Chains A and B, each alone.
Chain A
């Protein structure tokens, strides 16, 4: 479904990704782990088409250009508009029924904030609105960049439910995260990036048997203790 082939990218003076390749199949939820600066966010930006690779290519269902759903560090919303206005705008852009905005508000626990401007929301609620926007589209690949960074446990449960629903519909989900404890239960696969290349790649239920991933997982567990 998602094929990243020998992709490289560099900022003006710093190379970030070097000949990075990975494939993600239908109905896979893949966690992307790695230290800060390992290239996770850059890889997601390249897959989303927001950045252009120096070399290599990204194909989705065999095509070079295809729309994905993306929830990143940035909200990608109008800060001056209310929650409902923002979601209604994206519902219109995706060509969905107007009712979808209301359903999304309720799903993400945002009904009480529908008339609040995004800039006036807490960081956690802003993240929920951004995720609600990201899950509105119909692209078969979902990219999430540290989606739980600002979410409380309730928000994380909603996110996990949304990811599971998408997986059962056959979508592939690539999640860059440091929050292994909360997201490992919904993962089917774990990939570790180091210095812009794939260091380890394993099925989530085989994480304990993979030496490379085991080391990273232990580091995360140590940090979360």
Chain B
């Protein structure tokens, strides 16, 4: 058990160090977060000139920005780990496939969270809308959505690794699968933005927790089948 934890930490830290060193995914995500936010904000302010309308649209805009950005940016996930078949080396060293999956999903979670935060701040500033008053609840929703998305995207990215069409396949496979997450994120954030009572015990909250558990669990279980030929 102690060795398994040590192996997990070593793999997680190495994948994190790789992300910091290469900075490709982070740079692409931050750039896209700002660009998408500007495009969406420009469209929204042109159509919905009144502040109330912008406030109503803000939750959907946040999650549209996030989903588009993440689907495009995570196309390169696992690129460096598969360059010289590092994953085989990790498996041969006795690292549990679930540890590799969770390490990569956590690194993707951190990167996606930074990009999501950037997108929310940029959109908020451009639309003149703020959810600072409900920031704790919004952070809980965001953590659950981004965690579930990271888990699913990591699994699908591993599945499409090696395919010549991976940059096209990843969003095509991923986007339909994350629609329920998108609905949960939009519904719960709308409840917050409109000042309605918010609780994770409600239907949407329960569904979001269930999806997060399902995607993380499925990823940990299926990853071995995906990485072994």
In angstroms, how far is the closest chain A Cβ from the Cβ of B48? 45
| In the complex, B80 has a CB within 8 A of chain A | yes
Whether B3 is near chain A, meaning CB under 8 Å from some CB there, is yes
B206 within 8 A of A: no
Contact A51:B229 (CB < 8 A) given known A74-B84, A78-B14:
yes
Give A88-118 interface residues, CB cut-off 8 Å to B: 89-90, 92-95, 118
Which residues 64-103 of A sit at the B interface, judged by CB distance below 8 A? Answer: 67-70, 72, 74-81, 89-90, 92-95
**Max chain A CB contacts within 10 Å: which of B86, B88, B89, B91?**
B89
Is B76 part of the contact surface with A, judged by Cβ < 8 Å? no
* Residues of A in contact with B (beta carbons under 8 Å apart): 45, 48-52, 67-70, 72, 74-81, 89-90, 92-95, 118, 133, 137
In the bound complex, residues from chain B placing their C-beta under 8 Å from that of A76 are: 84-86, 88-89, 92
Closest-CB distance, B103 to chain A (whole angstroms): 12
> Once bound together, how far apart are the Cα atoms of A76 and B90, in whole Å?
8
Task: Given A74-B88, A92-B6, verify A80-B94 contact (CB < 8 Å).
Answer: no
Asked if A50 and B228 sit within 8 Å, CB to CB, the answer is yes
Which applies to chain B's interface (DSSP): helix, strand, loop or mixed?
A: helix
> From residue 35 to 89 of chain B, which have CB atoms closer than 8 A to chain A?
80-81, 83-86, 88-89
Report whether A93 and B10 are in contact in the complex, using a CB–CB cutoff of 8 Å.
yes
Chain B residues 4-24 with CB under 8 Å of chain A are 6-7, 10-11, 14, 17-18, 21-22
B95 interface residue (CB < 8 Å to A): yes
Would you mind naming 13 contact pairs between A and B with Cβ atoms under 8 Å apart? A50-B91, A50-B229, A52-B229, A67-B92, A67-B93, A74-B88, A75-B85, A77-B86, A77-B89, A78-B18, A92-B7, A94-B94, A95-B6
The answer to whether A118 touches B10, judged by C-beta atoms less than 8 angstroms apart, is no
A74–B80 CA distance with the chains assembled, in angstroms: 13
Nearest chain B CB to A134 CB, angstrom units = 8
Docked CA distance A68–B229 (Å) = 17
A80 touches B228 (CB 8 A): no
Q: Chain A interface mostly helix, strand, loop or mixed?
A: loop
| Of B81, B92, B94, B228, most A-chain CB atoms within 10 Å | B92
CB of A80 within 8 A of CB of B95, answer no
Across the A-B interface, the 6 shortest Cβ-Cβ residue pairs: A76-B89, A74-B85, A75-B84, A93-B93, A92-B10, A51-B229
Is the CB–CB distance between A78 and B95 below 8 Å?
Answer: no
Contact B21 A70 (CB under 8 A): no
Could you tell me if B80 and A78 are in contact, using CB atoms closer than 8 angstroms?
yes
Q: Please give me the residue from chain A that is nearest to B85 by CB atom.
A: A74
Task: Say how far B33's CB is from chain A's closest CB, in angstroms.
Answer: 24
Closest Cβ–Cβ distance, residue A57 to chain B (whole Å) = 15
Nearest CB of B to A121, in Å: 12
Task: Report Cα–Cα, A93/B95, bound state, in Å.
Answer: 7
Query: Using Cβ atoms and an 8 Å threshold, which residues of chain A touch B93?
Result: 67, 90, 93-94, 137
* Chain A residues with CB below 8 A from B21, complex form: 80-81
Complex Cα distance, B7 from A78, in Å, reads 16
Q: Do B94 and A93 have beta carbons less than 8 Å apart?
A: yes
Q: Is the CB of B18 within 8 A of A80?
A: yes
B161 to chain A, nearest CB (A): 14
- CA A72 – CA B10 in complex, angstroms? 23
Residue of A with least CB distance to B90: A93
Q: Which residues of A contact B7 (CB under 8 A)?
A: 92-93
Considering residues A48, A69, A74, which has the most beta carbons from chain B within 10 angstroms of its beta carbon?
A: A74
CA distance A69 to B92 in the complex (A): 7
Tell me the minimal C-beta distance from A123 to chain B in angstroms.
Answer: 12
- CB of B98, distance to nearest CB on chain A (Å): 15
Q: How far is the CA of A74 from the CA of B85 in the complex (A)?
A: 6
Within the complex, the shortest CB–CB distance from A173 to chain B, in Å, comes to 15
Q: In the complex the two chains form, what is the Cα distance from A54 to B21 in whole Å?
A: 41
- Chain B residues, CB < 8 A from A67: 92-94
What CA separation (Å) do A75 and B90 show in the bound complex? 12
- Shortest CB–CB separation between residue B26 and chain A, in angstroms? 14
Q: CA separation between A49 and B95, bound complex, in Å?
A: 13
Q: Do the beta carbons of A52 and B88 come within 8 Å of each other?
A: no
Interface residues of B in 177-210 (CB under 8 A from A): none
